[in-house]
Amino acid sequence: MIGAAERTSHAFEDRRACPIALGRHAYTMPVVPPSGKQSESAQQLAEAEAQAKERFERAMKELREGAYRFSSRARGQSELIIEELIDPEGETVASIAEVEGDQGAVALAQSLELITFDTWLFGQIGDKEELDLKAEEHWEVWFSYGAWIGETMRRRHGGHWLMMGDDPHTWRVGFSKVFLEIAPFMFAEQLLRMGSGATRKMVSEIERIRQQHVEQTERDKGQSLDRFLAQHYIRLHTVPLGQWMAMDFAHLVKVWNEGPVAGLIADIKEKGPRLGPQNQQIVEQVVGALARANQNEPVAKQTTDRGLFEAVAQIVGLRRATAPIAIDILERVVMPALHVGVPDKFPPLDDDDLANLHKGIELFAFFVEVVPHKFQADDEGFLGTIPHDQLTTPYADRSTLEIGKGDWVVVNPSHFLPMLRDMDPPKLLEKYDEFVKYLATIPDAPRRRDDGRLLAETAVRALADLKQCVATAAQNKDALLFRLLPPPG
């Protein structure tokens, strides 16, 4: 999704406006309170934690009771044991699997149980045409149905309820053995509004998730490993993301600073479709904002709106972008791994290293910490590695950047070329696997399972992505930019 386009509709309302610093990102430095208020802050934190715990326990009680009410009501009124509908050894799951993808066969394969549950489920809506969550009886059906879906899945596979607010629509279940979260109440509402075929969809989705767990167990050689805690899923919604972009700034400067607005609009209309239908509404907003400008003058002479500049840049200048990655992962392991390179050998471990292993440090984080760096990192630099003299501003009106508030920063791609020239991400992953085996040969090292493989795979994908992005920028003499994105919703 294109970022920084929220303000474009107002870009030409005040042409004397000062440069704006966008404030839509949540990446901020921690604030250390004055020493005299430490005890008060600690007390407030303890009270907040107690209240959060009480809310969670109350919500869990409501979920368990809601799930039980739904199952009991279905059994009493339809004579169906709905747990049998999703039994992988049952006839319903088997019949759906046999005709999957054949629409004609799907219609003919509707079992009596599927039809019965569909009929009962939509009978709960009563004489109203569709679900109305403002009606108390409809809300109860929806809540108990979502609770049953979520609790059934959580108990079957293991996982955690994540409650980001009071609205059950926002509640999620994150599984502990595969990195996957579901929104049971969103799914329940979708099914209740769907009509005929809702039960088939419910059974199919639940079976699909079961199959993912089966495949993971096979990859784990029959073991059932709990890899993911609630904190892993909370991060998805709280940690900002970092992204690299290769951008044709030479063209951007030409159409933004030099050419008339009419030419810029024509360029946007030509290149906008390549961004996909999901971004066309934003493209139209940008065109609408530019349409209010003087069509014969460059846009740079008429506005300094940062959001408009960034939106236009992504439409007309973006050549390649990396997949966003959590900023702490980028700083803590990806950038250090880049400087480690592909090691030839591993160092002996001292007492401090062994102590960290005993404390449970994640093994890939340990790998990038103890293996000597082939390339010197600037610990005081950007992202903990990049010297400040390798950074410049993309904004003609501003030299002081606020990265945490969304400002972009230009990074010299040549800084990365020596490191990426010999970087072989798959080979790095192999070296990490060798490192884990190496640890097992050290008598004083604790015997631990490899809890860093997922992090290693994430870092390797990010490095491969960065290598391609830097190569694109270097080949085309483009600008390499970095930006922070807000956490996913």
Higher pLDDT, 489 or 373: 373
Which residues lie below 8 Å from residue 264, measured CB to CB, with a gap of 6+? 255, 256, 290, 299, 312, 316
Q: What is the mean pLDDT of residues 189-199?
A: 87
Measured CA to CA, the distance from residue 476 to residue 36 in angstroms comes to 56
Instruction: State the pLDDT at residue 472.
Output: 96
Instruction: State the pLDDT at residue 13.
Output: 39
Give the least confident one: 52-66, 395-409, 474-488. Answer: 395-409
Average pLDDT of the chain to the nearest whole number:
84
| Cβ proximity of 342 and 431 under 8 Å | yes
Count of alpha carbons within 13 Å of 428, Cβ hemisphere only? Answer: 29
How many beta carbons lie within 10 A of that of residue 458, not counting itself?
16
Instruction: State the pLDDT at residue 3.
Output: 52
- Which value, to the nearest 10 degrees, does the dihedral of the CA atoms of residues 314, 317, 319, 321 take? -30
Looking at residue 109, its amino acid is A
% of the chain surpassing 70 pLDDT: 88
Angle at 220 between CA 217 and CA 221, to 5 degrees: 90
Tokens of 32: 């250390």
Measured CA to CA, the distance from residue 292 to residue 311 in angstroms comes to 16
Instruction: List residues bridging with 159 in a β-sheet.
Output: 175
Instruction: State the pLDDT at residue 348.
Output: 94
Give the least confident one: 40-44, 192-196, 264-268. Answer: 40-44
| Cβ proximity of 161 and 60 under 8 Å | yes
Measured CA to CA, the distance from residue 307 to residue 268 in angstroms comes to 15
Digit-coded pLDDT (tens) for 421-461: 989 999 999 999 999 999 999 999 998 888 888 899 999 99
Looking at residue 72, its amino acid is S
Residue 397 predicted with pLDDT over 80: no
Band (489; pLDDT cuts 50, 70, 90): low
Instruction: State the pLDDT at residue 111.
Output: 72
Band (197; pLDDT cuts 50, 70, 90): confident
| Cβ proximity of 172 and 162 under 8 Å | yes
The segment with the largest mean pLDDT, out of 31-45, 126-140, 263-277, is 263-277
Measured CA to CA, the distance from residue 231 to residue 126 in angstroms comes to 41
Instruction: State the pLDDT at residue 23.
Output: 28
Tokens of 56: 């969670």
pTM of the entire predicted model: 0.68
Digit-coded pLDDT (tens) for 299-358: 999 988 888 999 999 999 999 999 999 999 999 999 999 999 999 999 999 999 999 999
Tokens of 190: 């979708």
Instruction: State the pLDDT at residue 100.
Output: 53
Instruction: List residues bridging with 245 in a β-sheet.
Output: 321, 481
Which pairing describes strands 318-321 and 325-326: parallel, antiparallel, or unpaired? unpaired
Higher pLDDT, 292 or 232: 292
H-helix or E-strand containing 320? strand 318-321
In this structure, is the dihedral angle defined by the CA atoms of residues 187, 193, 194 and 197, taken in order, positive or negative?
positive
In this structure, is the dihedral angle defined by the CA atoms of residues 319, 26, 232 and 327, taken in order, positive or negative?
positive
| Cβ proximity of 170 and 236 under 8 Å | no
Residue 484 predicted with pLDDT over 80: yes
